[in-house]
Amino acid sequence: MMDLIRVALWRSLATLGRGKILWEMFWPLLAAGLVWIVALVLAWEPLTTWLAGWFDASPEGAQAGMLAMAGFFALKVLLVLSVLPLMYVTMLVIVGIWVMPRVVALVGREEYADLDLRHGGNFARSLWNTLSASGLFLIGFLVSMIFWWIPGAALVLPWILTAWLNRRTFTYDCLMEHADAEELRALEAREGGTFFWLGAIGAALAYVPLLNLFAPAITGLLFVHAGLEALRRLRAERGEWIVEADVPSGEATSYPHLPKGKP
Protein backbone atom coordinates (compact mmCIF):
# COMPACT_ATOMS: atom_id res chain seq x y z
CA MET A 1 0.00 0.00 0.00
CA MET A 2 2.56 2.56 1.10
CA ASP A 3 4.83 1.80 -1.86
CA LEU A 4 2.05 2.52 -4.34
CA ILE A 5 1.14 5.75 -2.52
CA ARG A 6 4.80 6.83 -2.52
CA VAL A 7 5.09 6.10 -6.25
CA ALA A 8 1.92 8.08 -6.97
CA LEU A 9 3.13 11.07 -4.96
CA TRP A 10 6.59 11.26 -6.55
CA ARG A 11 5.37 10.69 -10.09
CA SER A 12 2.61 13.27 -9.67
CA LEU A 13 5.17 15.84 -8.56
CA ALA A 14 7.30 14.99 -11.59
CA THR A 15 4.29 15.30 -13.91
CA LEU A 16 3.37 18.70 -12.46
CA GLY A 17 7.00 19.79 -12.77
CA ARG A 18 6.89 19.23 -16.52
CA GLY A 19 4.04 21.72 -16.74
CA LYS A 20 2.03 20.03 -19.49
CA ILE A 21 -1.13 19.65 -17.41
CA LEU A 22 -0.98 22.79 -15.26
CA TRP A 23 -3.92 24.29 -17.14
CA GLU A 24 -5.95 21.18 -16.33
CA MET A 25 -5.24 21.91 -12.66
CA PHE A 26 -6.39 25.50 -12.93
CA TRP A 27 -9.48 25.81 -15.11
CA PRO A 28 -11.87 23.66 -12.97
CA LEU A 29 -11.29 26.15 -10.14
CA LEU A 30 -12.19 29.07 -12.41
CA ALA A 31 -15.32 27.35 -13.69
CA ALA A 32 -16.60 26.19 -10.29
CA GLY A 33 -15.75 29.48 -8.63
CA LEU A 34 -17.57 31.46 -11.30
CA VAL A 35 -20.67 29.25 -11.10
CA TRP A 36 -21.07 29.48 -7.33
CA ILE A 37 -20.04 33.10 -6.91
CA VAL A 38 -22.70 34.09 -9.46
CA ALA A 39 -25.23 31.77 -7.78
CA LEU A 40 -24.47 33.21 -4.34
CA VAL A 41 -24.72 36.80 -5.57
CA LEU A 42 -28.07 36.12 -7.26
CA ALA A 43 -29.49 34.15 -4.34
CA TRP A 44 -28.11 36.27 -1.49
CA GLU A 45 -30.76 38.99 -1.36
CA PRO A 46 -33.83 36.69 -1.69
CA LEU A 47 -32.46 34.24 0.89
CA THR A 48 -31.40 36.85 3.43
CA THR A 49 -34.74 38.68 2.99
CA TRP A 50 -36.60 35.43 3.63
CA LEU A 51 -34.46 34.68 6.68
CA ALA A 52 -34.90 38.20 8.01
CA GLY A 53 -38.68 37.90 7.67
CA TRP A 54 -38.63 34.61 9.51
CA PHE A 55 -36.66 36.10 12.40
CA ASP A 56 -38.84 39.23 12.46
CA ALA A 57 -41.75 36.95 13.30
CA SER A 58 -39.98 35.77 16.47
CA PRO A 59 -41.20 36.94 19.93
CA GLU A 60 -40.40 40.52 20.86
CA GLY A 61 -38.15 41.61 23.70
CA ALA A 62 -34.52 42.60 24.12
CA GLN A 63 -33.26 39.10 24.83
CA ALA A 64 -35.34 37.54 22.09
CA GLY A 65 -34.14 40.23 19.69
CA MET A 66 -30.48 39.53 20.47
CA LEU A 67 -31.01 35.80 20.02
CA ALA A 68 -32.75 36.44 16.70
CA MET A 69 -29.86 38.61 15.49
CA ALA A 70 -27.32 35.98 16.55
CA GLY A 71 -29.31 33.25 14.82
CA PHE A 72 -29.67 35.34 11.68
CA PHE A 73 -25.91 35.96 11.58
CA ALA A 74 -25.16 32.25 12.17
CA LEU A 75 -27.43 31.22 9.32
CA LYS A 76 -25.76 33.69 6.96
CA VAL A 77 -22.37 32.24 7.92
CA LEU A 78 -23.69 28.70 7.27
CA LEU A 79 -25.04 29.88 3.92
CA VAL A 80 -21.58 31.08 2.90
CA LEU A 81 -19.89 27.94 4.26
CA SER A 82 -22.32 25.71 2.36
CA VAL A 83 -20.86 27.05 -0.88
CA LEU A 84 -17.48 25.43 -0.10
CA PRO A 85 -18.58 21.77 -0.35
CA LEU A 86 -20.70 22.69 -3.37
CA MET A 87 -17.63 24.23 -5.04
CA TYR A 88 -15.58 21.13 -4.24
CA VAL A 89 -18.23 18.82 -5.69
CA THR A 90 -18.54 21.03 -8.77
CA MET A 91 -14.76 20.95 -9.32
CA LEU A 92 -14.77 17.19 -8.79
CA VAL A 93 -17.52 16.70 -11.38
CA ILE A 94 -15.63 18.89 -13.86
CA VAL A 95 -12.41 17.00 -13.18
CA GLY A 96 -14.10 13.60 -13.43
CA ILE A 97 -15.97 14.30 -16.65
CA TRP A 98 -13.64 16.58 -18.63
CA VAL A 99 -10.18 16.70 -17.03
CA MET A 100 -9.54 13.05 -16.13
CA PRO A 101 -9.87 11.70 -19.70
CA ARG A 102 -7.24 14.19 -20.92
CA VAL A 103 -4.91 13.58 -17.98
CA VAL A 104 -5.23 9.80 -18.32
CA ALA A 105 -4.50 10.06 -22.05
CA LEU A 106 -1.46 12.31 -21.54
CA VAL A 107 0.06 10.46 -18.58
CA GLY A 108 -0.80 7.06 -20.03
CA ARG A 109 0.84 7.91 -23.35
CA GLU A 110 4.03 9.30 -21.78
CA GLU A 111 4.58 7.09 -18.74
CA TYR A 112 2.46 3.95 -19.16
CA ALA A 113 2.67 3.31 -22.87
CA ASP A 114 3.35 -0.36 -22.12
CA LEU A 115 -0.27 -0.74 -21.01
CA ASP A 116 -2.68 -1.47 -23.82
CA LEU A 117 -6.17 0.00 -23.72
CA ARG A 118 -8.92 -2.50 -22.92
CA HIS A 119 -11.83 -0.07 -22.34
CA GLY A 120 -13.49 -1.84 -19.43
CA GLY A 121 -15.49 1.26 -18.54
CA ASN A 122 -17.51 3.86 -20.36
CA PHE A 123 -18.48 7.52 -20.11
CA ALA A 124 -22.09 6.85 -19.07
CA ARG A 125 -20.99 4.73 -16.10
CA SER A 126 -18.37 7.33 -15.17
CA LEU A 127 -20.96 10.13 -15.27
CA TRP A 128 -23.44 8.17 -13.15
CA ASN A 129 -20.71 7.18 -10.70
CA THR A 130 -19.59 10.80 -10.28
CA LEU A 131 -23.06 12.30 -9.93
CA SER A 132 -24.42 9.63 -7.58
CA ALA A 133 -21.31 9.77 -5.38
CA SER A 134 -21.54 13.58 -5.28
CA GLY A 135 -25.19 13.42 -4.25
CA LEU A 136 -24.46 10.95 -1.45
CA PHE A 137 -21.55 13.11 -0.32
CA LEU A 138 -23.74 16.22 -0.05
CA ILE A 139 -26.38 14.30 1.92
CA GLY A 140 -23.69 12.91 4.21
CA PHE A 141 -22.20 16.38 4.65
CA LEU A 142 -25.56 17.82 5.71
CA VAL A 143 -26.15 14.96 8.14
CA SER A 144 -22.63 15.34 9.57
CA MET A 145 -23.40 18.94 10.55
CA ILE A 146 -25.61 17.56 13.31
CA PHE A 147 -22.46 16.30 15.04
CA TRP A 148 -20.30 19.38 14.53
CA TRP A 149 -20.87 20.42 18.15
CA ILE A 150 -18.52 17.55 19.11
CA PRO A 151 -14.92 18.92 19.30
CA GLY A 152 -13.02 18.04 16.11
CA ALA A 153 -16.04 16.60 14.30
CA ALA A 154 -16.31 19.60 11.97
CA LEU A 155 -12.82 18.73 10.65
CA VAL A 156 -12.78 14.93 10.82
CA LEU A 157 -16.22 14.07 9.41
CA PRO A 158 -15.92 16.19 6.22
CA TRP A 159 -12.40 14.80 5.73
CA ILE A 160 -13.65 11.20 5.90
CA LEU A 161 -16.57 11.96 3.60
CA THR A 162 -14.30 13.67 1.06
CA ALA A 163 -11.84 10.76 1.18
CA TRP A 164 -14.71 8.40 0.36
CA LEU A 165 -15.90 10.68 -2.44
CA ASN A 166 -12.43 10.84 -3.98
CA ARG A 167 -12.03 7.07 -3.83
CA ARG A 168 -15.48 6.37 -5.25
CA THR A 169 -15.08 8.81 -8.14
CA PHE A 170 -11.45 8.63 -9.21
CA THR A 171 -10.85 4.88 -8.91
CA TYR A 172 -13.17 4.20 -11.82
CA ASP A 173 -12.14 7.20 -13.90
CA CYS A 174 -8.41 6.50 -13.76
CA LEU A 175 -8.78 2.87 -14.88
CA MET A 176 -11.77 2.71 -17.22
CA GLU A 177 -9.75 3.23 -20.43
CA HIS A 178 -6.80 0.93 -19.71
CA ALA A 179 -8.34 -1.88 -17.63
CA ASP A 180 -10.93 -4.38 -18.76
CA ALA A 181 -14.04 -5.04 -16.66
CA GLU A 182 -12.45 -7.90 -14.72
CA GLU A 183 -9.30 -5.91 -13.98
CA LEU A 184 -11.43 -3.00 -12.76
CA ARG A 185 -13.18 -5.25 -10.27
CA ALA A 186 -9.93 -6.90 -9.20
CA LEU A 187 -8.12 -3.62 -8.59
CA GLU A 188 -11.05 -2.02 -6.78
CA ALA A 189 -11.09 -5.00 -4.40
CA ARG A 190 -7.32 -5.42 -4.11
CA GLU A 191 -6.32 -1.77 -3.79
CA GLY A 192 -9.40 -0.43 -2.02
CA GLY A 193 -7.42 0.58 1.05
CA THR A 194 -4.72 2.24 -1.03
CA PHE A 195 -7.28 4.22 -3.00
CA PHE A 196 -9.06 5.29 0.20
CA TRP A 197 -5.84 6.67 1.69
CA LEU A 198 -5.03 8.43 -1.57
CA GLY A 199 -8.49 9.94 -1.34
CA ALA A 200 -7.71 10.92 2.26
CA ILE A 201 -4.51 12.67 1.14
CA GLY A 202 -6.51 14.54 -1.47
CA ALA A 203 -9.13 15.44 1.15
CA ALA A 204 -6.40 16.76 3.44
CA LEU A 205 -5.28 19.10 0.66
CA ALA A 206 -8.65 20.82 1.02
CA TYR A 207 -7.45 22.14 4.40
CA VAL A 208 -4.19 23.58 3.02
CA PRO A 209 -4.40 27.22 1.84
CA LEU A 210 -3.83 27.64 -1.92
CA LEU A 211 -3.51 23.87 -2.47
CA ASN A 212 -7.17 23.52 -1.52
CA LEU A 213 -8.05 25.46 -4.66
CA PHE A 214 -6.64 22.67 -6.82
CA ALA A 215 -7.34 19.67 -4.55
CA PRO A 216 -9.69 17.72 -6.89
CA ALA A 217 -7.36 18.06 -9.90
CA ILE A 218 -4.27 17.10 -7.90
CA THR A 219 -6.14 14.17 -6.35
CA GLY A 220 -7.17 13.00 -9.80
CA LEU A 221 -3.53 13.02 -10.92
CA LEU A 222 -2.53 10.96 -7.86
CA PHE A 223 -5.18 8.38 -8.76
CA VAL A 224 -4.02 8.22 -12.38
CA HIS A 225 -0.49 7.30 -11.35
CA ALA A 226 -1.59 4.92 -8.60
CA GLY A 227 -4.23 3.23 -10.74
CA LEU A 228 -2.07 2.72 -13.82
CA GLU A 229 0.90 1.52 -11.78
CA ALA A 230 -1.37 -0.91 -9.92
CA LEU A 231 -2.68 -2.18 -13.27
CA ARG A 232 0.88 -2.58 -14.56
CA ARG A 233 1.79 -4.66 -11.49
CA LEU A 234 -1.35 -6.77 -11.77
CA ARG A 235 -0.61 -7.67 -15.38
CA ALA A 236 3.02 -8.37 -14.54
CA GLU A 237 1.99 -10.78 -11.79
CA ARG A 238 -0.29 -12.56 -14.22
CA GLY A 239 2.54 -12.84 -16.75
CA GLU A 240 0.52 -11.11 -19.44
CA TRP A 241 2.09 -9.88 -22.66
CA ILE A 242 2.25 -6.13 -23.09
CA VAL A 243 3.44 -3.76 -25.79
CA GLU A 244 7.07 -2.64 -25.69
CA ALA A 245 7.01 1.15 -25.32
CA ASP A 246 10.58 1.96 -26.33
CA VAL A 247 10.52 0.92 -29.98
CA PRO A 248 9.74 3.28 -32.87
CA SER A 249 6.10 3.83 -33.76
CA GLY A 250 4.77 1.17 -36.10
CA GLU A 251 7.38 -1.39 -34.99
CA ALA A 252 5.93 -2.32 -31.58
CA THR A 253 6.46 -5.89 -30.50
CA SER A 254 5.06 -7.90 -27.65
CA TYR A 255 6.94 -9.52 -24.81
CA PRO A 256 6.16 -11.03 -21.41
CA HIS A 257 6.41 -8.33 -18.71
CA LEU A 258 8.81 -9.78 -16.14
CA PRO A 259 9.96 -8.35 -12.82
CA LYS A 260 13.26 -6.51 -12.82
CA GLY A 261 16.25 -8.79 -12.62
CA LYS A 262 14.58 -11.56 -14.61
CA PRO A 263 15.96 -12.53 -18.04
Mean pLDDT by 10 residues, the chain (263 residues): 90 83 75 75 68 57 52 59 75 84 90 91 90 91 88 91 94 93 93 94 87 84 95 90 47 41 35
- Does the residue 222 lie in any domain? yes
- Does the residue 118 lie in any domain? yes
Count structural domains, the chain.
1
- Does the residue 236 lie in any domain? yes
Look up the domain containing 173 and give its range: 2-243
- Does the residue 123 lie in any domain? yes
- Does the residue 82 lie in any domain? yes
Residues whose CB is less than 8 angstroms from the CB of residue 34 and which lie 6 or more positions away in sequence, other chains included: none
Alpha carbons 173 and 196: distance in angstroms, whole number:
15
- Does the residue 250 lie in any domain? no
Residues whose CB is less than 8 angstroms from the CB of residue 108 and which lie 6 or more positions away in sequence, other chains included: 115, 177, 178, 224, 228
- Does the residue 249 lie in any domain? no
8 Å CB contact between 100 and 221: no
Alpha carbons 171 and 144: distance in angstroms, whole number:
24
In this prediction the pTM is 0.76
- Does the residue 72 lie in any domain? yes
